[in-house]
Structure 1
Amino acid sequence: MGLTPLRLTGSAAEMGAAHGARYRDAIRRFARERTAMAGSAYWVGRELARSEVLDIARGCMDAHERFDASLTSELQAMAEAAGLDIADMLVVGGFTDLVDTIYGRHGHGAPAPRGADQCTALLVPGTRCADGNALFAQTWDMHESAAEHVLLVEATPDDAPAFTVFTSMGCPGMIGMNEHGITVGINNLVATDGQPGVTWNFIVRAILRQSTLEDALACITDTPLAGAHNYLLLDSQGRGMNVEAMPSRHAITPLEQSPLAHTNHCLSDATLAVERRRLPGSQASSEKRLARAYALLEQTPLHDIDSLAAITRDREAICVEPTAEVREASCGAVIADPAAGTLWALRGLPSEQTYQPFLVPNFEPAVQA
């Protein structure tokens, strides 16, 4: 299940059109599935018609346009190339945030489903890495069928830094690094304060348009968010932070001398106050993965790409394999070395697949002060 990059260049509209045309049929199937899911009681607490789901998505478009007109034009061109409305495309990429938005309007206290548990992510400071370069790693967990939708995009936009991003067909971006070494990863969270706002994949791509960690952080903290996600940020000089971001509040933990790990439950009292109720099994899964991640991080005094790859392959907790009852699985994984401008990525179960290295286009090493 190797990854062959989709190489995009030109204007935002040209990049979106190329993406949408290349994966037209898969995007259309994905849109039907996700729109149905976003209107199901399993995900949002009550049944909604497809038209209701798309009306709520359209209600978020003004916020996206105000946030980044260029990214909005990319999504519009992707939608047109795939033969879809832009609201369909917003559901394809921003599904879990739109679940929070819909729940905020219609949820009535229903717990978040098991399917909302996605990803285990790590930040390791340079002082704990063999070559002194801070590192990032994460799994991407989803229904096992999502593995076939995974792709890697290498892009050189006309109006923004070049970037490499791990994503899925029809989604503008999930986990990536730009030519300045700005790196971003994510975990899904669940919220009661969802609202019409900007979805997480737009936040990821906006972060990849920045040249400083401070500006990357502002993309999260200064934006009206549609739903809840945890963001992990790292730059080429080894500065990093973890950001639990809910629509009404956020909690920031800087990367200091010890590694940081995060899974799918809130750790801050502030964000816990607006976290959607979680099923006991989901909470136990998230807590188990978090504890296991920290235990594995402490087993190795100085980390490198191989040691982080081994953590993502851990079959005790981190590398999630489907069962007869639960078909969620680790559908891919990413490791990033921002100081070297390199992403290692794979599609499928990390325990069964091999990481491939990808040098970010136009990358130039940072000049140390």
Structure 2
Amino acid sequence: MTMIPVIKASGTPWDIGHVMGSLLSKHLQNAVERFDERIASQLGENGLNDKIESYVACTEKLAPRTLEEIRGMAEGAGVGFMSLFCLNAAQELTYSQGCSSLAVNGDATADGSVILGHNEDNSPFYSDHCYVVDGTPDEEPAFLAFAYAGMVLHQGFNDHGIGSVGNALYSNDLKPGVPKLVAYREVMRSEFLEDAIRRCIRPERANGNNHVLASIEGEIYDVEVSATKYSLLYAEGGVMAHTNHFTAAELQHLDAWADLLNSRIRLNRLRKLLHRDRGEITVESVKRALSDHANYPRSICKHVKLGVNEGVSTVGSVIMNLTDKTLQATSGNPCEGGYRQLKMS
């Protein structure tokens, strides 16, 4: 198995984006071409332009550094800025499904560590488009994060001890605003936990999403967000898990999907595995949980199977230990191993 690549980048937001785009140019060109074809067939060029202009304007105003990073990435990769931005607004333009996330602290781990984990589910196409960013921005926290295909959905941690993973939520109150993926990159800029939470709940957001946030002190919050409302869930017993549906009672009416059965099955299974090992959880036991095949092929570790589960699989997995400042990531299914470990210096 080919190890997931690591992209080291530093400097201004544009510099960081340009390095990423230059080193990943072939991957980004393929991803943009595929996305352009798929979205054009669903929305048509006019529908796409009408939607995307408002998203760009809101992002320019509220997250200019992230937008500049996307601009640099597009130029480095030799792709159009609007095409790459559309890829980062994918979940405002069309629905996809999947992803499972978790966080545990010293109340649940064997050695007191704070650990986060995430499986990214998407089209199998993206299995070959994953990477880790080792970023050292000017005048901002350094970070290590899993990402793929030029999207800024950074699942990782920074040198202030803030860790972030998350899941897609699709709310029925979608509105013009900042695309949901931008919040992931913005969290990597945060210096303390409240700062991270506030970056997820900005009122100008366009869509729903879920963020599992943790600090090196062991505080864990799940932030369920729709376009207009949010709820904070605190980790009881040191364990937090989440998939793709609203769990806060006051937000459940906002789910845009009628069929969320698979999300509920994955969440129940992930909670069961974590609580079974509570007090003895390690990075290795988190790997086992993320590799679990109960309800195969639509399991936590999701696989393609003709006639049953053809369009989505687990395309990558990431686990981070905030306590010892390590991140492990792999492309493809975690059950196949191949995690690459990095340590923040």
1:289-317 per-residue CA deviation (whole Å, 9 max, x = no partner) reads: 11111111122132011111110111112
Instruction: Supply the distance in 1 between the matched residues of 2:75 and 2:250 (Cα, whole angstroms).
Output: 41
Partner of 1:339: 323
Deviation, structure 1 residue 171: 1.5
C-alpha spacing 1:50/1:30, structure 2 compared with 1 (3 Å): farther
The 8 Å contact of residues 10 and 156 in structure 1, kept in 2 or not, is answered as yes
Percent identical residues: 24
Per the TM alignment, residue 136 of structure 1 is displaced from its structure 2 partner at its CA by: 1.1
Among candidates 222, 228, 241, match of residue 261 of structure 1: 241
1:74 aligns with 2:56: no
Shift of 1:356: 2.0
How many Å separate the matches in 1 of 2:338 and 2:33?
32
Q: 1:168 to 1:291 in 2, by over 3 A?
A: same
Gaps of 5+ in 1: 41-46, 100-111, 362-369
Between stretches 240-249 and 65-74, larger displacement belongs to: 65-74
Tell me the equivalent position of 1:292: 269
Deviation of 1:258 after TM superposition, in Å, equals 4.2
1:201-230 CA deviation, whole Å, 9 max, x = no partner? 221111111110000000011241122211
Verify the 8 A CA contact 2:203 2:228 in the aligned structure 1: no
CA shift, 1:91, in A, is: 1.7
Aligned with 1:49: secondary structure?
helix
Report whether the alignment pairs 1:120 with 2:100: yes
Counterpart residue number, 2:9: 8
Larger mean Cα displacement after TM superposition, 155-164 or 263-272: 263-272
What is the CA RMSD across the aligned residues, in angstroms?
1.7
Alignment-mate amino acid for residue 217 of structure 2: Q
What is the aligned residue count? 337
The question of whether the paired residues in 1 share the 8 Å contact of 2:132 and 2:147 is answered with yes
Report the CA distance shift for 1:4/1:29 in structure 2 as closer, same or farther (over 3 A): closer
Kindly report which structure 2 residues correspond to 1:39-54, keeping only aligned pairs within 5 A, or say none.
Answer: 39-40=40-41, 47-54=42-49
Q: Determine helix, strand or coil for the equivalent of 1:70.
A: helix
Say whether residues 1:320 and 2:282 are aligned partners.
no
Which whole-Å CA distance do the structure 2 matches of 1:36 and 1:159 have between them?
38
Alignment of 1:146-165 (within 5 A): 146-165=126-145
Deviation at 1:93, TM superposition (A): 2.3
Q: Unmatched 5+ residue regions in structure 2?
A: none
- AA of the residue aligned to 1:293: L
- Secondary structure at the residue paired with 1:14? helix
| In structure 1, distance between residues paired with 2:228 and 2:238 | 29
The offset of 1:118, in angstroms, is 1.5
User: Helix, strand or coil for the counterpart of 2:144?
Assistant: strand
- Code of the residue aligned with 1:96 in structure 2: it is Q
* 2:57 counterpart (55, 62, 65): 62
After superposition, the C-alpha distances for 1:46-100 in whole angstroms (9 at most, x for unaligned) are x42134213412221121111122221111122223333322112222311333x
Equivalence for 1:97:
92
Does structure 2 retain, via aligned residues, the 8 Å contact 1:36–1:50? no
What SS does the corresponding residue of 2:254 show, helix, strand or coil? Answer: coil
Structure 1 length-normalised TM: 0.87
Please report how far the alpha carbon of residue 33 of structure 1 lies from its aligned counterpart in structure 2 after TM superposition: 2.2
- Mapped to 1, the partners of 2:66 and 2:170 lie a distance apart of 25
Q: Distance in 2 between matches of 1:37 and 1:195?
A: 22
Match of 1:228 in 2: 208
Q: Distance in 2 between the 1:173 and 1:263 partners?
A: 16
Q: Cα–Cα, structure 1 residues 307 and 122, in superposed 2: closer, same or farther, change >3 Å?
A: same
Structure 1 stretches of 4+ with a deviation exceeding 6 A read none
Give the counterpart letter for 2:3 in structure 1: G
Mapped contact 2:133–2:147 kept (Cα < 8 A): yes
Where 1:34 maps in the other structure, the secondary structure is helix
Report whether the alignment pairs 1:29 with 2:24: no
